[in-house]
Amino acid sequence: MTTAISIKDLHKTYSNGFIALNGISLEVAEGDFFALLGANGAGKSTTIGIIATLVKKTSGIVEVFGSNVDNNSYETKLDLGIVPQEVNFNHFEKVFDICVTQGGYYGLPRKLAEERSEKYLKQLGLWDKREQQGRQLSGGMKRRLLIARALIHEPRLLILDEPTAGVDIELRRSTWKFLQELNRAGTTIILTTHYLEEAESLCRNIAIIDKGEIVENTSMKALLKKLDTETFILDCRDDLQGLPTLDGFDLVQIDNHSLEVTLDKNQDINEVFKLLDQQDIKIKSMRNKTNRLEQLFVSLLQNSANRAATTQEGRS
Amino acid sequence: MRSASVHYKWIAFSTLVRKEVRRFLRIWIQTLVPPVITISLYFVIFGNLIGRRIGEMSGYAYMDFIVPGLVLMAVINNAYANVVSSFFSQKYQRSIEELLVSPVPNYVILAGFVVGGAARGIMIGVVASVVAMFFSGFHMHNIFITLTVLILSSVVFALGGLINAIYANKFDDINVIPTFVLTPLIYLGGVFYSIELLPDFWQGVSHINPIFYMVDAFRYGILGISDINISYAIMMLLVFVVILYSYAIILLYRGTGLRN
């Protein structure tokens, strides 16, 4: 399978001495929907900046579809679409002009740039706003305009840096749907996000970056398998007459109608239902208490911090 | 390996120029009207009211003498202002990243901004010349030299504006050079007088002022009078273009002020 992006031993130290990347290596296959997760300042945006040539690396190799970004920047840039975290279009330009101009920068003849602009502005629900200036758009529309602009030259690899930050749920869902369709049509997508639910629903593979190092790089399925416990909220049909006691299970009463139960890998939720039924407590519905990925993410970062602390102790 | 074709570069270049021209036409009230008002005031006050008391300079009525310098002053200021404000505001809004992540080569970026700035300078030059015709007669000694100087001067100062914008970190930084460098050089560059009127020492100093060569050559193109050899003046303009272009392109390749 072709590799869409290959990063080898990438280092970045800023002029103030801050080490943003400490030798990360990563490969993303063509056609993948890949999540790059990390806390603020972990190195996600620096990595994207280096791929986009907006940030100069200290050392390491970055290849896009087998071409080194240092030697073949024309070729690699044609294959690459970048949706930045911050809105970075000219606020005084019209929406349509922003897209057509970007097409021109990628060598599209004006007519084709206009056709593509119409196509993507329509797909992203911005066609009605084409004559408005960028600054007149709402926050969510600005984010979708960034996506439309990045797609004008129809890149094989699209990198989105927190594309749904500050976007309401409805818009976020429609953006997800759009990205999934794009990925099904063959575009490789790399996504950084703060919404872990987003990564869990969309991405097949995942890398977690912490303090400039990759602490996990695996498939989403394999990562979620590592989860030791899972917590459920159970909504009861009738009022509870106190906290029921179930052998082998920890229950917490949230309110008159709700219970919280945490299961480890070897326990079965059906057993909980059976025991509650024996006490004449009927369950109406059930949901996960926390985002599963969030739980793992926190635990991975905690492990990473503990490892760092142990190494530090060993040195002193 | 694919490489950027001439056709691709032409599309990218014309897109950038179109965008730059669209920008200064969109804000015409800020970009096109003020120079016309300023130059009209110069003509009324210096040319007409004060000029009548001065009489002739280098064989021409004072009004006729200052017209080329005033037109060129407007050209220089506008070519510089266009690039410095456009490039810096794109840096400030980070919309310059649209260009930096695209495959547009640095020399095409440079050419696009410079041609955009020169277009505004030349457009203002044409408008200022039309205004000048209301105050003085129409003169054209050598149209080839006039156009050559007009274009080269616009290019020199558009390049200067680009270099200023690359280094600028805040809006104050794009006003320092026009206020403390450009304005004194223009006023001391022979716009309002012939350097023959200066003592020998200050005549020598005037020769290290690039604007002196531009004004003198432009005046020669229009009136046919000059303080220096015209070939030398045009050659100096070309030298300034080469030096500033080389410096600007090095800054773009290094990513100074643009890439972390």
B1, B30, B86, B93: which to substitute to probe chain A, counting the most A Cβ within 10 Å? B93
Q: What mean pLDDT is predicted for residues A196-224?
A: 86
Residues of chain B positioned with their CB less than 8 A from the CB of A92: 26
Query: What are the pLDDT digits (tens) for B41-51?
Result: 988 887 778 87
Residue type, position A302, single letter:
Q
Tell whether B22 is within 8 A of chain A (Cβ): yes
Please tell me which residue, A118 or B1, carries the higher pLDDT value. A118
The answer to whether A251 touches A222, Cβ cutoff 8 Å, is no
Residue with tokens 């007009």: B150
Interface of B with A in 127-146 (CB under 8 A): none
How buried is residue A195: exposed, middle or buried, by Cβ count under 10 Å (0-12/13-18/19+)? buried
High-pLDDT (> 70) share of chain B, %: 99
Which string of b and e fits B96-129 if b means at least 16 CB within 10 Å? bbbbbbbbbbbebbbbbbbbbbbbbbbbbbebbb
Across the interface, whether the CB atoms of B260 and A52 are under 8 A apart is answered no
B254 in reach of chain A (CB within 8 A): no
Assess A52–B contact: CB distance below 8 Å, yes or no. yes
Q: Average per-residue pLDDT in chain B?
A: 90
Restricting to A residues 8-27, those with a Cβ less than 8 Å away from any Cβ of B are 14
Interface residue A73 vs chain B (CB under 8 A): yes
Cβ-Cβ contacts under 8 Å for A169 (sequence gap 6 or more):
none
Confidence (pLDDT) at A170: 82
Q: Domain coordinates of chain A in residue numbers? A: 3-224, 226-316
- When CB atoms are compared, the residue of B90, B105, B255 closest to A56 is B255
Question: Can you name the CATH fold of A226-316?
Answer: Alpha-Beta Plaits (3.30.70)
CA distances from B20 to A251, A304, B13, B153 (A): 66, 49, 11, 19
CB of A106 within 8 Å of any CB in chain B?
yes
Give yes or no for B10 touching A (CB within 8 A).
no
Of B95, B102, B255, the CB nearest to A88: B95
Q: Is residue A202 over pLDDT 80?
A: yes
- CATH fold of the domain at A3-224: Rossmann fold (3.40.50)
User: Looking at residues A15-33, what average pLDDT do you find?
Assistant: 93
User: What average pLDDT score do residues B63-79 get?
Assistant: 91
The mean pLDDT of A229-234, rounded to a whole number, is 81
| pLDDT score for A309 | 67
Looking at the complex, report in whole angstroms how far the Cα of residue A181 sits from the nearest Cα belonging to chain B: 25
If we measure between CA atoms, which residue out of B213, B209, B210, B208 comes closest to residue B227? Answer: B213
